Structure 1
């Protein structure tokens, strides 16, 4: 019992807060409230990870490699920790962040020697990204997308619904299934864009083709999907052929800056959609992104951007969602507050016509993905390995909580390119697409 007590006490002193967890060490000793989630350190390597990399990333490495675990509901454990952090920060805004003080360091060294956890840095999990090159260069963007999206089509088929939509669904009721919510989202986008047979549409960041295929099949438009993932491109083209949509669907394996090479002509596109891709564009490059959309659209053409955001833009905040997300899931991602995104879209000459907040929808979507992951855990591990499966378990639990607690949001932004005389061709009421 002495070991667990000492470790928990030092952790709380370092973080400047009381931790709402019960700690169990590899020797069976325990400390902390009996009614709290149990944080299990299965080996000395778990402590070594945190000693070498204090903070979120060190804890994530220990979890991913199975040296640290949580008994019970992982999401509930994270929820309790964040609640405790918020309460502690109400009194001290530095609470919850490692404090490097001489006295704390001395205690830590003494305890580490007593526990026998001092040693060389543990191997870094293979699931981490290691990008090189200039930020948001075409080559680096391609590598960032490949890291996440080329993982395995079969793995994503285990987690996503039949549409293969990897974005928030539109849940009109708590009882709605994941598949129903995704179809409702796809229809909502198509109605907002006022898609009609014969139109030309570009789907920037088309993923596994959920919107591309839906718009072509159910609205009769010709769609050019845009992706940097060869796995996704091949998947969409195969599905289009199976559904008899090859004449209406093409997929360009290009950066959005290079769409002219795919035959996309300036000023000729009727509608553009970008569903949860704008976060990957980067901050400095977002003006290039919105300028390209404006250039491709015809006068009166519409654009629908569904995009994740962060609730604030304070110095020191992580624009990509924190060290874990930025290292394991979406390297180089940059989320902006909604107001900043709207300003950039408007600055490009696009008129904002509607903004629909969907933050509360995402936890329901993610809960369905998490349930599907757990239901097919053995298959997931066989496809991507235990480390990556654990990355996804932690990613889904933490991501859902970020939306639930309003640290992240997601919105659909509808804009139009007015004609030179100011005509938009837009209906006077959003009931036109909500009915």
Structure 2
């Protein structure tokens, strides 16, 4: 069979370009199919618009557009948790690989499948502008630009997040003390671990940058007796957090502001926590970021930086789906780069820890919550957005499970010029 044939089917073209055997069932609206008939998982291309998406944006972006729009189905899984299907379709750690069409094949393929497929359909409304357009329209990571990006991702709906994240309203990696621990128990354990690493004591002052819905702020105030300030660029997060603080009677010692971290004027904090913010900063901005956090600390004060990293320190592009649908302007690097930048900002690094598998378990919990509340989530944010979240969480879980991405906590101090860090000889949080 040749891709130049006028009788080429969609399934024929798919299998011709695929390197190796197809590990799942593929079916298309032209009646063609490929792959094992008894495969538990598969892809079903429903219409020509879906084909247009795939041909006009080859790779994960075109597939994502077709899926989010409802033109491509993942067979054998719930849209709120397609993890098992994605692992089977990807073929595990090997991944699906396609060859480039030979000269003339691409044109013949388009002719065989329909010349109208050269014209891309309008992108789904859930998709953000491409990075090059965002760069043209303003500097990445300016206060205004960052506020827009945070609004795109976090101001979806507080009710939606309550259903997906659970009562803790914590959108960062949990720490599971045991395999059997619940998601809520693990989120409590994460906050407690951060508090113990920071050695928080009654009467101390904590700054939590990128505080989300205020989980760290409330935990530190309730259980460690500190006074805490949290800041977030999400107006909806800040409003939810302040209401929760009042409900719990913590407003005399806890505050969450709708504020860019760069606009915090207070100094002399005993501790700074950054949980899930570094991913939004941009690697080029790390020197100013960590320098700013250092400036907020008193001498011997502690910093705990908790963020997603790559499994290496090489420069790498963010995937198109993540960049356009989930974290516009987001950027990851390895833990080595994080530690280097903290050190170069003049802080002393004392401890680092990789929580990769904890994030895989966290995402599995969020996927289960989305499945459990699927109908209500769709009613709250729409089918397209719900599909984006199911795909994003399952795909991220796969990345953690396969060690493509990791989660690192790094503990550092603002050590004084005479070498005083305030750290004990051995870690107290491990006892």
Could you state the TM-score of these two structures normalised by the residue count of structure 2? 0.92
Note the alpha carbon deviations across 1:120-155, whole angstroms, 9 max, x for none.
422211111235421111111111111000010000
Following TM superposition, by how much is the alpha carbon of 1:6 offset from its aligned partner in structure 2, in angstroms?
Answer: 3.3
Kindly state the Cα deviation for residue 111 of structure 1 after the two structures are TM-superposed.
Answer: 2.3
1:149 aligns with 2:154: yes
Aligned mates of 2:6, 2:26 — CA distance in 1 = 10
Partner of 2:127: 128
**Cα distance per residue 1:149-184 (max 9 Å; x no partner):** 001000000011211110111012221100000001
C-alpha separation in 1, matches of 2:170 and 2:54: 36
CA distance in structure 2 between the aligned counterparts of 1:362 and 1:227, rounded to whole angstroms: 22
Counterpart CA distance in 1 for 2:156 and 2:84 is 28
Structure 2: how far apart are the matches of 1:274 and 1:3?
Answer: 58
Q: 1:86 aligns with which of 94, 100, 111?
A: 94
Change over 3 Å in CA distance of 1:63–1:122 after alignment to 2: same
Shift of 1:10: 2.0
Match of 2:85 in 1: 77
- Give the Cα separation in 1 of the matches to 2:275 and 2:6: 49
Deviation at 1:28, TM superposition (A): 4.2
Change (3 A) 1:399 1:406: same
* Aligned-partner Cα distance in 2 for 1:4–1:401: 37
Partner Cα separation in structure 2 for residue 175 and residue 196 of structure 1: 30
How far apart, CA to CA, are the structure 2 residues paired with 1:362 and 1:250? 28
The aligned runs of 1:87-102 (5 Å cut-off) are 95-96=97-98, 99-102=100-103
For 2:48 and 2:289, locate their aligned partners in 1 and report how far apart those are by CA, in whole Å: 47
- Structure-2 change in CA distance of 1:6 and 1:250 (3 Å): same
Task: Give structure 1 regions of 4+ aligned residues with deviation exceeding 4 angstroms.
Answer: 2-5
Could you list the per-position Cα deviations for residues 248-285 of structure 1 after superposition, in whole angstroms to 9, with x for gaps in the alignment?
A: 1122322222211xxx12xx110000001101000111
Work out the CA distance in 2 between the residues paired with 1:24 and 1:186.
46
The reply to whether residue 347 of structure 1 matches residue 344 of structure 2 is yes
Where do 5+ consecutive residues of structure 1 fail to align?
89-94
**2: distance between equivalents of 1:348 and 1:118?**
52
Q: How does 1:234-313 map to 2 (within 5 A)?
A: 234-260=239-265, 264-265=266-267, 268-313=268-313
Contact 1:13–1:104, Cα closer than 8 Å, also in 2: no
Which deviates the most, 272-281 or 418-427? 418-427
Residues 9 and 32 of structure 2 are in contact (CA less than 8 Å); yes or no, is this contact kept in structure 1?
no
Distance change >3 Å, CA 313–CA 8, structure 1 → 2? farther
Matched, 1:22 2:63: no
78-87 or 203-212, which deviates more = 78-87
Q: In the alignment, is residue 181 of structure 1 matched against residue 186 of structure 2?
A: yes
CA pair 100-291 structure 1, distance change in 2 beyond 3 A = farther
| 2:44 is equivalent to residue 40 of structure 1 | yes
Number of aligned positions between the proteins = 416
Asked if the contact 1:167–1:276 (Cα under 8 Å) also holds between the matched residues in 2, the reply is: yes
Looking at structure 1, the residues matched to 407 and 213 of structure 2 have their Cα atoms a distance apart, in angstroms, of: 20
Aligned to 1:92: none
Q: CA deviation at 1:417?
A: 0.9
Shift, 1:44, TM fit: 1.5
Q: CA RMSD in A?
A: 2.0
CA distance in 1, matches of 2:320, 2:342: 28
- Contact kept, 8 Å, 1:8 with 1:32, in 2: the verdict is no
Offset, 1:7: 2.2
